[in-house]
């Protein structure tokens, strides 16, 4: 296909716009390398990726350096080659500080409070005391082993996890989402309260939220829960908007966003437990009768086959909710990160390969981000819908 | 496996934050929003019902007014018809009366003329009788004096009669 001149210019501009964004991932990767190796010489991968950022043409001397890259790597084994898996995994996992970028070899990150109860009692301090590899009152971040990346202490020559309720990156992300939700919904609610008129139709923020709330209420909650849907609407709406906001914020690549909130199993576990409680605490008598004494031939109940299956079903439903949300969001994040890693993984292969792979990577990233935007809504919608269905199933009335 | 193990600290924060947000929103935000949406929905529904009723009423009134107009039209036609009939009758009556009056006047005139003619004739007859008597008197007088004179008298008398 022959692209017209305008199209070519557009694509070059797009790349120029997209690449600075990608460079933050590069910085992240560099940061990881720095944290794992105390002294870090300039890695050839980074030089090349930097020159790849400046434009699609690469000067001949950097091409020469690219050719020399394997040699340099051979001479200096401490110069770690770019490790996409490590970078992706480190992004997906939680961290004690909120890394923003690395500028000229210096990490710019927001230190977050660490709250731990070690063998010496409670300790509260900022994470910058230990993220650089330091030790604070016997506490440090494990570099390897089963507690890799977590705060540990050495007790009797043993690495042990203290009780750790640090405000990690994900925890801060949760608080950001909660703050956004509180501001949004309390502002909207005030707009209604201020004009206590029956025919008041809100505009702006309240109007937007009303549209969202009403569409979720009418298309999901009302049909799935059944007649007393208003009792469960606050929980379901909170869950929906929490997941939706977290998903959207997770797609924003810079500071208040970027945290992998709903792609963290602890978060989805709490959400699933909340649904579990909503289902089972408010279940009707018929719901429990259907579980423990279902309407099946007696021999299926005498050997308690059906009750056991039904009882397991109580737990598999929220478990599926937990895994679905977690896996979807985590997969989305890993795919976007992996695609961005293509740029840096091909950096030592020369200008032509790296340039074309960069273009492909950016195209895929644009596509994936669009897809993830859809997924962000879809997963929140699916979670809310299934929660509504489970709640609705627990609201059965005896049918005669 | 690290990703699949929920960390205790995060569970704590998530539970706390989610519970707080849920409680605040469930108490201060969603009931207000949902309540006002429901209220507005009811208001709109009732307004629509009221509009429907009003529309029905308007349609009824329209029908009624059309009925009234039709009735009035009918009445108008009837009145006009009656007016035309009575006008014709009045005109006819008037012409009959005028006819009678005219013929009465004519008859009266004719009768008067007849009477006057009679009177004139009677008068003329009297005059003629008087003249005849005077003539007879004069003739008698002339006869008595002379025959020539009588002749002259006779001619005079005849002239006199002719003159009168």
The whole-angstrom distance between B27's CA and the closest CA on chain A is 9
Query: Are A206 and A251 contained in the same domain?
Result: yes
Of B4, B18, B20, the CB nearest to A270: B18
Q: What is the rounded distance in angstroms from the CA atom of residue A51 to the CA atom of residue A140?
A: 36
Inside any domain, residue A88: no
Query: Are A245 and A334 contained in the same domain?
Result: yes
SS3 A165: coil
Q: Which residues of A133-142 are buried (b: 16+ CB within 10 A; e: fewer)?
A: eeeeeebbbe
Query: Are A130 and A247 contained in the same domain?
Result: no
Query: Are A69 and A99 contained in the same domain?
Result: no
Mean pLDDT rounded to a whole number for chain A: 79
Query: Are A179 and A312 contained in the same domain?
Result: yes
Of B6, B20, B34, the CB nearest to A266: B6
Query: Are A69 and A141 contained in the same domain?
Result: no
The whole-angstrom distance between A93's CA and the closest CA on chain B is 6
Q: Which of A164, A193, A217 is the last residue of a domain?
A: A164
Task: Identify the weakest region by mean pLDDT among A15-24, A349-358, B93-102.
Answer: A15-24
Q: Which of A129, A144, A164 is the last residue of a domain?
A: A164
> Are B29 and A235 within 8 A, CB to CB?
no
Query: Are A222 and A351 contained in the same domain?
Result: yes
DSSP secondary structure code for residue A349 in this structure = G
What's the first-to-final CA gap in chain A, in angstroms?
A: 68
Taking only residues 254 to 283 of chain A, the set having a beta carbon closer than 8 angstroms to any beta carbon of chain B reads: 264-267, 269-271, 274
ipTM of the complex: 0.76
> How many C-beta neighbours within 10 Å does residue A267 have?
32
How many folded domains does chain A comprise? 3
Q: Which of A143, A164, A185 is the last residue of a domain?
A: A164
Inside any domain, residue A137: yes
B28-87 pLDDT, tens digit each? 999 988 888 888 889 999 999 999 999 999 999 999 999 999 999 999 999 999 999 999
The whole-angstrom distance between A349's CA and the closest CA on chain B is 32
> Are B18 and A242 within 8 A, CB to CB?
yes
**Structural domain range at position A71:** 29-75
Rounded to two decimals, what is the model's pTM?
0.70
Asked whether the CA dihedral A11, A13, A16, A17 is positive or negative, the reply is negative
What does R_g of chain A's alpha carbons equal in angstroms? Answer: 26
A233, B34 contact by CB (below 8 A):
yes
A216, A240 contact by CB (below 8 A):
yes
Query: Are A247 and A285 contained in the same domain?
Result: yes
pLDDT above 90 covers what percent of chain B? 64
Inside any domain, residue A83: no
B3 contact A CB<8A: yes
A99-130 pLDDT, tens digit each? 888 788 788 888 899 998 888 889 898 888 88
Q: C-alpha angle B36/A235/A322, rounded to 5°?
A: 150
The whole-angstrom distance between A230's CA and the closest CA on chain B is 9
Helix ranges (H only) for A153-201 are 169-194
Mean pLDDT of B81-106: 93
Query: Are A363 and A383 contained in the same domain?
Result: yes
Query: Are A284 and A360 contained in the same domain?
Result: yes
Inside any domain, residue A82: no
What are residue B33's DSSP bridge partners? none
Query: Are A275 and A338 contained in the same domain?
Result: yes
Query: Are A225 and A370 contained in the same domain?
Result: yes
Beta-carbon contacts of A231 under 8 Å, excluding residues fewer than 6 positions away, are: A282
DSSP result, B34-93: HHHHHHHHHHHHHHHHHHHHHHHHHHHHHHHHHHHHHHHHHHHHHHHHHHHHHHHHHHHH
Helix axis angle, A84-92 relative to A5-36, nearest 10°?
A: 80
B70 contact A CB<8A: no
Mean pLDDT of B110-118: 92
> Are B20 and A210 within 8 A, CB to CB?
no
Domain ranges of chain B: 12-163
Inside any domain, residue A89: no
Residues in chain B with CB shorter than 8 Å from the CB of A214 are 37
């Amino acid at each position: 296909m022959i692209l017209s001149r305008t199209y070519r210019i557009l694509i070059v501009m797009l790349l120029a716009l997209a690449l600075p964004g990608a460079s933050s991932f590069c910085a992240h990767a560099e940061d990881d390398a720095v944290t794992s190796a105390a002294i870090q010489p300039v890695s050839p991968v980074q030089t090349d990726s930097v020159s790849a950022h400046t434009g699609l043409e690469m000067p001949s001397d950097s091409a020469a350096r690219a050719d020399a890259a394997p040699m340099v790597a051979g001479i200096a084994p401490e110069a770690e080659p770019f490790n996409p898996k490590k970078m992706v995994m480190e992004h997906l996992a939680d961290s004690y500080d909120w890394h923003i970028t690395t500028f000229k070899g210096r990490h710019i990150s927001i230190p977050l409070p660490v709250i731990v109860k070690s063998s010496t009692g409670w300790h509260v301090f900022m994470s910058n005391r230990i993220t650089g590899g330091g030790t604070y009152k016997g506490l440090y971040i494990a570099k390897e082993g089963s507690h890799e990346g977590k705060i540990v202490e050495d007790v009797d020559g043993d690495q042990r996890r203290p009780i750790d309720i640090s405000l990690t990156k994900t925890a801060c992300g949760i608080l950001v989402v909660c703050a956004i939700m509180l501001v949004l919904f309390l502002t909207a609610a005030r707009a209604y309260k201020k004009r206590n008129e029956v025919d008041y139709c809100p505009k702006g923020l309240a109007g937007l939220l009303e549209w969202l709330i009403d569409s979720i209420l009418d298309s999901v909650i009302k049909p799935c829960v059944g007649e007393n849907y208003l009792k469960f609407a606050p929980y379901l709406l909170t869950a929906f908007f929490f997941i939706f906001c977290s998903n959207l914020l997770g797609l924003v690549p810079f500071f208040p966003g970027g945290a992998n909130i709903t792609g963290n199993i602890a978060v989805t576990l709490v959400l699933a437990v909340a649904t579990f409680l909503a289902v089972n605490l408010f279940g009707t008598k018929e719901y429990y009768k259907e579980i423990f004494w279902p309407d099946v031939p007696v021999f299926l109940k005498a050997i308690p086959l059906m009750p056991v299956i039904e009882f397991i079903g109580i737990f598999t439903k929220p478990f599926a909710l937990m895994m679905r949300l977690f896996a979807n969001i985590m997969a989305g994040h890993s795919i976007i990160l992996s695609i961005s890693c293509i740029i840096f993984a091909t950096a030592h292969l020369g200008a032509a390969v790296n340039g074309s792979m960069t273009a492909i990577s950016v195209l895929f990233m644009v596509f994936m981000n669009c897809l993830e935007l859809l997924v962000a809504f879809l997963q929140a919608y699916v979670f809310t819908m299934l929660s509504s269905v489970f709640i609705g199933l627990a609201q059965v009335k005896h049918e005669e | 496996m690290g990703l699949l193990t929920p960390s205790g600290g995060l569970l704590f924060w998530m539970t706390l934050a989610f519970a707080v947000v849920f409680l605040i929103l469930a108490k201060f935000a969603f009931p207000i929003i949902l309540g006002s949406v429901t209220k507005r929905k009811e208001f709109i529904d009732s307004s629509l019902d009221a509009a429907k009723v009003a529309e029905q009423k308007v349609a009824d009134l329209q029908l009624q007014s059309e009925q009234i107009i039709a009735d009035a039209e009918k009445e108008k036609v009837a009145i006009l018809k009656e007016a035309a009939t009575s006008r014709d009758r009045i005109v006819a009556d008037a012409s009959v009366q005028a006819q009678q009056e005219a013929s009465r006047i004519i008859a009266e005139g004719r009768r008067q003329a007849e009477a006057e003619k009679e009177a004139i004739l009677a008068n003329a007859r009297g005059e003629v009788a008087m003249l005849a008597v005077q003539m007879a008197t004069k003739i008698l007088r002339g006869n008595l004096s002379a025959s020539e004179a009588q002749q002259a008298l006779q001619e005079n008398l005849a002239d006199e009669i002719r003159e009168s």
